[in-house]
Chains A and B, each alone.
Chain A
Amino acid sequence: MTLRATARPAPAGAEVPAGHGRTPGTRPRRLVPETGLQAIIWVITGLCVLCPVLPLLYASVRSLPVYESGGGFTLAAYGQLFADPAFRAAAVNTLEFAGVTTVCSVLLGAGLAVAVSRTDVPGGRGYSRLLIAPVVLPPLGLILGWNALYGPGGYAHQFVNDTLHIPFNLSTVPGMAVLGTAVAVPVVFLVCQAALSGIGPELENAARSVGAPPLRVLARVTVPMLRPALLNAGLLVFTLSIESLGIPLVLGSPQGHDFVASYLYNTWSSGSTPDPPIVSAGATVLLACACLLLLLRGRLLGDQARFVSIGGRGGGQAPVLKLGPVARWAACALIALYLAATTFAPIAALALSSVVSELTPLVAPWHLLTAASWRAIGRGDYVSSIRNSLEIALVGAVITAALVALATAVAHRSRFRLRQSLPFILLFPRAIPGIIIGIGFFWSFVIVNPPGHALLNSIWGIMLALSVRSLTLAYFVMSGAFATVSDSLDDAARSGGAGWWTTMTRITLPIVRPALFVSFVLLFVSILNDYDPALFLVTPGNQIMGVTMLQTLQAGTTGPVAALAMVQVAITVAAIAVAARLFTTRVRGSRNA
């Protein structure tokens, strides 16, 4: 935290003397050279992102935990890891899960994106909002909802297996991949939709003007132009899938189907020796895979220039493909059914299971109604974990939004020599599996003391880890917003004598205010609902919601967990609703101005 405080050594007021220096020929004076400021921002950002990685690598090649003296260099942990049949089984499961999830979600997500934005399906615009809902819903809540609905003993389990005769077991690897697909579809959908909206209507109109019928236009122009987006989305989903922790932990592990992440977590929390090096080694392997995928993605997407369409002005996009009246409504109903089955019914089942004494399809739920779960979360540890979660989400979101805004400004709007490394640094946390951030921060807190131990024994260490994990989200929003602001606006301020700091804080950042706000809300929701890294950092008395839920669930209690998940859902929906409302009024206000 002391580091963060130095992030703002030069308040905007520091340049006031420059404003008074009106005598001709006087150059505005600055208290802190702008390069210094930019360097500070760069160092802080870099530290936050590298903090979890370097100690992890170090810990993985030590013979003893790093806090014990006398250890030496060894690769024994890696040997032990690869010799463990449980790890190999987990790796196979992970690959199978990630592969199935990637293929299914890319096909489904791209299909939905084309259907919604290029055909006249009724309610297309509404659907495009609902389809991305799982992105902001608490991931753990969605998993628990699926478990309550489709899991063994879930409300719809019997219907699917016995009435529809679909042999479906959510706890197997293919079963988990179905849930994985539902979680990943919004990611693919978002990437494809962004790509589709970037394809100007002229490109499709041009094909029609030379006589191509609608299906041909879709097949020959629209879909081929989506290729880079599909590749990008596929690699992204694959990377996210291999680090899945919540899905195996809730569904697979109890049945013996572990993934790499859950294997590492279980080894960590139930191993006979504390903090075994084998976990650090496994995490390093996972990290290497993620980094390879990141590099591969960069390489494959490199030759993208030819897919950037040229020029073109805005304007409405008419549907390319006009479905017949029957097909239109059939498609509409199919999408509605998909949304109900993957998102709304699970959340409803989650809500239901929070108010019944037992989760069972055998007894009508109204006979089992009870408020016990909700009363339970109003007491003791549950309340303090809700309060802790809200606290770290709020504080973390404010600090991270500010840091990312400044870091984006350095990356895209400065002449700082190392600026080109910043986008990579800012994108890196998304590529690092969550458990690595957790384990890595644990080691850095252990090694760097102070302030490590103080952070480890409070909720602020968790906040730091969760904030770092989420900061890429804010970077996506901010870099997009910066790209829409013409450089000439900055240049105008600078030619008027404003330094970099003044230009950013008075001109550029105020212009992108709505984006700052959006990034704050996204960070808040993401930090509130995240739990992977926290699993490794939680100490008694410093619980947060996600960890409390997982630990309670492993102890065999479901009611209060469902109630806590509903609390997460409620806070998330409220935050998004408030943000959407504020945001639209702001946009409207600025348009009127």
Chain B
Amino acid sequence: MPEITVLGLSKTFGKAAALSDVSFSVRDKEFLTLLGPSGCGKTTTLMSIAGFQRPDEGLISCGERAFFDGARNVCLAAEDRNLGMVFQSYAIWPHLTVFANVAFPLKIRRTKRDALRRKVMETLELVEMADLAGRYPHELSGGQQQRVALARALVYSPEVLLLDEPFSNLDAKLRERARTWLKRLQGELGLTMLFVTHDQDEALSLSDRIVVMNGGKVLQTGTPEEIYRNPASRVVADFLGRCNIMTAKVATVAGVAPPGGPVSLVLTANGQPVTVAIPHANLAAGDEVQLAVRPEAVEILGPDSAAGSPAESAAAENTYLAELRTVSFLGDHYVYELNADGQALTVTSTKSVAGPSVMVRIPRSACKVLPA
């Protein structure tokens, strides 16, 4: 299967820019996710690739074939792109049975009757819908409709499968099952998939790579782990998982710090020191930076009494005494809302501690300095 390349895609609706200079590529057999809040341009991008929207400029190609080339005024019709698409609303044709819905693409391709029947039934087997082939869409549940939509998009073995928030109409339990099922299917069939969602859990659990979008721009591209551990900006950090964002000032730079070397900062909120390891060295004393700290990276040392005298503990690196504001129990872990002398902190931990105050430590490696 060829790879899809999107280069410098731009589109405006009236005066509002829906897409500006969007570029990425979907590799062979890859599961790529476009992730972003609603209105970020992810669906517009998908619709441009599918051929239902025409970008103003840029290039979309699939292998050697140009789908869209703004410079050469090439725009291949949607029906000629040989892509599979699963719509958010499923778009199952209500006047046709499940079988006829899935058979339609093959009829367009003039498949012989026997082959058609065999292929349709095979695909329906694959999505576990074979015994409901004679039903009409209104007789199906949401999850079943969703599988029919997938079968219809798979039956003619398209080069790439596009999915537009296919799970958003399912309830939480069903959504989780559909996720594992889709992931398995992708592995078995070796499909190339481009997936659009605003659900970060979905993106993290399914994708080989994620393209994070906001305001019509690509913010970051990378594997789920890369993006989660090293968010390129505050927006990405905020959008993907929970994150503590703290502002701090650079106090000293230890000589010409080597990349990864320690830098001392002072938290703006409470004036306490924090030492971080930074990947780049172009920081000068007095610079203001933003630190991103994942809640699960903060260590809870225990209630203050158990950690010796507060003064002694506080002397250790990046260790703070914090007042316990609220505790929520979420089954497999606790979420603590803390206040460390004016600096709010959210911490998740499996450890159960009682207030009124606790000692916490933020490991050096857990503090990511966000690019200004």
Contacts and interface: CB of A to CB of B under 8 A. Distances in A.
The answer on A and B forming one complex is yes
B36 interface: no
4 closest A-B pairs by CB: A210-B105, A202-B91, A311-B89, A312-B89
Given A205-B50, A205-B78, A310-B137, 10 more contacts: A202-B87, A202-B88, A206-B91, A209-B81, A209-B85, A210-B152, A216-B108, A307-B95, A311-B88, A311-B169
A336 to B, nearest CB: 29
Interface in A184-207: 200-203, 205-207
Contact of B138 (A205, A308, A318): A308
A210 B95 contact: no
Contact of B89 (A200, A207, A213, A221): A200
A209 B82 CA distance: 7
A306 B152 contact: no
Nearest to B145: A310
B104 A306 contact: no
Interface in B95-112: 95, 104-105, 108-109
A210 B155 CA distance: 9
B79 A209 contact: yes
Nearest to B140: A310
B68 to A, nearest CB: 15
Interface in A221-270: 221, 224-225, 227
Given A306-B95, A310-B90, A213 B79 contact: yes
Nearest to A217: B79
6 contacts: A203-B94, A205-B78, A210-B79, A210-B152, A212-B79, A224-B95
Interface string B310-344: 00000000000000000000000000000000000
Interface residue range, chain A: 20 to 34
B181 interface: no
A313 B87 CA distance: 10
B108 A212 contact: yes
Contacts of A305: 138
A220 interface: yes
A72 interface: no
B105 to A, nearest CB: 4
Contact of A306 (B52, B89, B94, B156): B94
Contacts of A209: 50-51, 78-79, 81, 83-85, 153, 162
A210 B77 CA distance: 12
Contacts of A203: 91, 93-94
A212 B156 CA distance: 12
A421 interface: no
A227 B90 contact: no
Contact of B156 (A211, A308, A310, A311): A211
A309 interface: yes
A206 B169 contact: no
A305 B138 CA distance: 7
A208 interface: yes
Nearest to A322: B77
Interface of B: 50-52, 77-85, 87-95, 104-105, 108-109, 136-139, 145, 149, 152-153, 156, 162, 169
Contacts of A214: 79
Nearest to A207: B104
A316 to B, nearest CB: 9
Contacts of A201: 52
Contacts of A227: 95
Nearest to B137: A310
A312 B89 CA distance: 5
A56 to B, nearest CB: 41
Contact of B82 (A211, A308, A310, A313): A211
A110 B92 CA distance: 23
B108 A211 contact: yes
Contacts of A313: 88-89
B95 A225 contact: yes
Contacts of B90: 202, 310-311
A339 B94 CA distance: 34
A206 B79 CA distance: 9
Nearest to A205: B52
Contacts of A205: 50, 52, 78, 85, 87, 91
A292 B84 CA distance: 48
Contacts of B80: 211
Nearest to B87: A202
A72 B322 CA distance: 100
B93 A225 contact: yes
A212 B88 CA distance: 20
A111 to B, nearest CB: 20
Of B51, B83, B90, B139, chain A has the most CB atoms within 10 Å of the CB of B90
A212 B81 CA distance: 11
Contacts of A312: 87-89, 91
A210 B156 contact: yes
Nearest to A221: B93
A214 to B, nearest CB: 8
B138 A310 contact: yes
B88 A200 contact: no
B260 to A, nearest CB: 47
Given A205-B91, A227-B95, A306 B138 contact: yes
A208 B78 contact: yes
